[in-house]
Structure 1
Amino acid sequence: MKRVLAMALLLAGTALGQGAERTPVTNYILKCVGCHLADGSGLPSAGIPDFVDKVGVFARLPEGRAYLLHVPGVIGSSLSDKEIADLLNYVMETYAGESLPVPFEPFTADAVAGLRATEVGNVVKYRRVVADKLAEDGIEVPDYPWP
């Protein structure tokens, strides 16, 4: 696993050095894998949520989609709106599993721009608001490692 990750980082760095456009996989490796790991399992004991079969629930609500845009690794990523949309779609398609709503409305650059402009305040508190709203609709919300 470490060897695969090291090779992926090497290839990503080489592609970036040649001016190639970064793919969602490359952006996941560069921006997300440090916390959520290559398999999306996160580090719950360190406060990093697990994506696997869980992250898709947030795509069900506009507030959940806004939450995803405001987690620190996304809002502080320096990626363009299109890159973030592509990255979030990759995360949903790769890790959400059965938690992904059907039909799934993919993120777009325009939607990302609007959601980024939404003020959510403290993202941990905002996640609790989103979780309560999902629970009211009978949707199981993944555990959250933050107090």
Structure 2
Amino acid sequence: MWTALRRIMLAAILATPALGAAAEDAAGERSAHVNYILRCAGCHTMTGEGTVIGGVPTFLDSISALAADDRGRSYIAHVPGINSADLSPAGIAAVLNYVVKEWGDPMTDVPAFTAEEIARRHAEPMRDIVAARREIVDRLAADGKSTAPYPWP
């Protein structure tokens, strides 16, 4: 009896790390979705539409132009919700990739965000986020690329 119980317990102990790894792999995409809900949806809404009255831009018809642009990617890495998110660079990259996949333009080539890129861009100073966005949006508009309206002064 004890021998059989010991074998079962040993098998369970040995299987636990493998089960944990499988659950972590399976939850990778879901984790980005959950992190979006917990950290982004309060302002950008569950549909990515943002709120005009709250001054939060929509992701629809907008995120791809910013995410495909080098300076736009730096801007995205510095928006207040990203800067204050209690996530690792890998977690932030996963959420941003989720946003682009969910609401981005499939016809726009947007490189995937990586943890290394997020860490590098966070190390770059961006002193005036509103001015940076306006400069980026004006340049993109001159190239015929549209972005969401931005009500901040």
TM bucket normalised to smaller: 0.7 to 0.9
Per the TM alignment, residue 141 of structure 1 is displaced from its structure 2 partner at its CA by: 2.6
Matches within 5 A, 1:64-75: 64-75=72-83
Runs of 5+ in structure 1 lacking a partner?
Answer: 1-19
For the aligned residue pairs, the C-alpha RMSD in angstroms reads 1.9
Write out per-residue CA displacement over residues 51-73 of structure 1, whole angstroms, 9 at most, x where no aligned residue.
11211110121110000011100
Write out per-residue CA displacement over residues 54-95 of structure 1, whole angstroms, 9 at most, x where no aligned residue.
111101211100000111000110210000000000000001
Q: Which residue of 1 aligns with 2:7?
A: none
Cα distance in 2 between the residues matched to 1:119 and 1:81: 16
Per the TM alignment, residue 32 of structure 1 is displaced from its structure 2 partner at its CA by: 0.2
Cα distance in 2 between the residues matched to 1:131 and 1:53: 13
Q: Is 1:56 aligned to 2:43, yes or no?
A: no
**Structure whose CA Rg is larger:** 2
Per the TM alignment, residue 138 of structure 1 is displaced from its structure 2 partner at its CA by: 2.4
Tell me if the contact between 2:61 and 2:148 (Cα under 8 Å) persists in the aligned partners.
no
Tell me if the contact between 1:81 and 1:110 (Cα under 8 Å) persists in the aligned partners.
yes
Per the TM alignment, residue 132 of structure 1 is displaced from its structure 2 partner at its CA by: 1.8
Q: Is 1:87 aligned to 2:95, yes or no?
A: yes
Q: Which residue of 2 aligns with 1:101?
A: 108
Cα distance in 2 between the residues matched to 1:81 and 1:46: 27
Q: Give TM-score, length-normalised by structure 1.
A: 0.79
Write out per-residue CA displacement over residues 94-145 of structure 1, whole angstroms, 9 at most, x where no aligned residue.
01135x622x210001111111111111111110111122123222232112
Q: Which residue of 2 aligns with 1:139?
A: 145
Count of matched residue pairs: 127
